[in-house]
Amino acid sequence: MSHREKSEGFHSEPKYSRRFALGAALWSGLAAVRGWWGGQSAQAAALPLDHVTPQTATAIEHGLKWLAARQVADGGFGRRGSYARNVGVCALAGTAFLSHRGMTGPYRRQIQESIRYLTSRAQEDGFLVEADVKTHAPLYGHGYATMFFGQVFGESFDPRVRDVLKAATQLILKSQNEQGGWCYTSDPEDADVSITTCQIMALFSAQQAGIAVPRSAIDRSVKFLRQAQNPDGGFRYRLNDPPESLFPRSAAAVVALTCAGLQDDEVVQRGRDYLRQPHPPLELSPGQLAEYHFYGRFYATHAAWQAGKTEWDRWYPTVRDELLSQQSPAGAWHDANIGDEYATAMALIVLQFPYGNVPLLAIR
């Protein structure tokens, strides 16, 4: 980051788009006056709940109870495996509880415990990471944790949360490479669309909470994503990779670009066209989900919400019925790689999109 970016970026609010600015201002006003009724914001009450069937509501309650029971004494999630106590999984679980009725809902204790765990994992340089890192990409966990902090600060006004959020945001900004993306490693050509979209969404969440983000950082990330778009409208993994599109990362790119104010730009329109195309079957074999299943459903649902009523009415009932069929009798969803806490949190966030209790996910 240049000296000019550092001197300008943290002293002025960025200007992304009128739509994003209006949404951010609306949420700031709601949070400032604590405008909550029964745990729901005025913004949430205005969202359509047409597709939230009684069966959906029951599945959500069942899943939330299962997830709450999985939170351990220190506030984290996961007792074993490479993703045990992972900060990203904890942040997503916290977001699932926040999606229900906000900070004042029945899962407020679980949200506060998630905040306690995540703040305890803040390093001196701003990095949010579990003590014994076992995953190959800890910046993912950092991004989701930063995103979660941005959403809870608007309602909690906890100065400790703000300090951690500001430091975490600055680390993301410092980690952006010359291409405008983010990497798993120090190799400047290793930047990829998936980790980049995660960091972009974290920056927007921080901006909603009042943390200044240089517009130049967003502009550079948008340029990176534009270059990663393939002729079919989807997105490749890295700029130097073959032009192979994949549904989950393409959905993530469309969401990030829309949040950046490009909802009417050709890059987003072509991306949405790609997402509407028929894709490979959801199941590779009985009982085995396609790779990045829950990640893809999370971003595709967000993209459908951003696209408007027609796309929402097409997508949400489909993903809703799919997820309801995949829920276990215990109330959980299963992911053999990252874990059931992760899968359940993602599924619950998707199903609770219509509630509108997570400001970053409610803005169109």
The C-alpha atoms of residue 233 and residue 254 are separated, in whole angstroms, by 10
Q: Which residues of the chain have pLDDT under 70?
A: 1-48, 133-136, 185-188, 279-289
Within 8 A by CB and 6+ apart from 198, the residues are 139, 140, 143, 144, 147, 182, 252
- Residue 190: the pLDDT is 84
Vertex 288 angle, CA 282 and 293, to 5°: 50
Q: Are 143 and 135 in contact (CB under 8 A)?
A: no
The C-alpha atoms of residue 40 and residue 211 are separated, in whole angstroms, by 24
Within 8 A by CB and 6+ apart from 164, the residues are 118, 119, 122, 126, 128, 149
- Residue 279: the pLDDT is 66
Among residues 158, 195, 79, 173, the alpha carbon closest in space to that of 125 is found at 173
- For residue 209, give both structure tokens: 């909470």
According to DSSP, the β-strands at 36-37 and 40-41 are antiparallel
Domain CATH number, residue 61: 1.50.10.20
Q: List for the chain the helix, strand, coil content (%; round to 5).
A: 60, 5, 35
- Residue 4: the pLDDT is 34
Q: Look up the domain containing 32 and give its range.
A: 3-362
The C-alpha atoms of residue 324 and residue 308 are separated, in whole angstroms, by 23
The C-alpha atoms of residue 342 and residue 82 are separated, in whole angstroms, by 12
- Residue 185: the pLDDT is 66
- For residue 138, give both structure tokens: 């800890």
Q: Which residues of 109-142 are buried (b: 16+ CB within 10 A; e: fewer)?
A: ebbbbbbebbbebbeeebbbbbeeeebebbbbbb
- Residue 19: the pLDDT is 43
- Residue 17: the pLDDT is 44
Sign of the C-alpha dihedral, residues 302, 304, 308, 309?
negative
DSSP category for residue 290: P
- For residue 104, give both structure tokens: 């004042």
Question: Where would I find the beta strands (DSSP E) of the chain?
Answer: 36-37, 40-41, 283-285, 288-289
For 139, 159, 195, the CA distances from 350, given in Å and listed in that order, are: 23, 30, 20
The tally of domains found in the chain comes to 1
Residues 245-284: tens digit of each pLDDT: 999 999 999 999 999 999 999 999 999 999 998 765 454 4
Residues 338-355: tens digit of each pLDDT: 999 999 999 999 999 999
Look up the pTM and report it: 0.86
- Residue 81: the pLDDT is 73
- Residue 10: the pLDDT is 31
- Residue 187: the pLDDT is 63
